[in-house]
Amino acid sequence: MPQIELIELTVDEILARCPQTAQVFRLYKLACVGCAIGPYCDMDTVADTYHIPMQRFLDDLHAAIQESTVEDKN
């Protein structure tokens, strides 16, 4: 999943497509997993609300996705 796609998705869409990303949200101590506004909250909103660096956050989300993809292939 290219990074541009993650930026366009809501929190709930990311978690539904890639549940392994929940660990990244927890690592950043974000209250996104299970949040009532997850269906409406995009990555820009997450980064702005929690004052986290967007690119690093996206990189970590992608790393979690890649790790899971590699494990699935083995």
Q: CA angle 73-11-62, nearest 5°?
A: 35
pLDDT given at position 49: 96
Quote the pLDDT of residue 4: 61
**Would you give per-residue pLDDT tens digits along the chain (74 residues)?**
555 689 999 999 999 999 999 999 999 999 999 999 999 999 999 999 999 999 999 999 999 999 876 666 65
Give the residue from 60, 30, 74, 67 showing the smallest Cα distance to 11: 30
Instruction: Say which CATH architecture domain 3-73 belongs to.
Output: Orthogonal Bundle (1.10)
Beta-carbon-side half-sphere exposure of residue 63 (alpha carbons within 13 Å): 10
Write the secondary structure of 43-60 as one string of H (helix), E (strand) and C (coil).
HHHHHHHHCCCHHHHHHH
What residue ranges do the domains of the chain occupy?
Answer: 3-73
According to the model, what pLDDT value does residue 67 have? 87
Q: pTM of the prediction?
A: 0.85
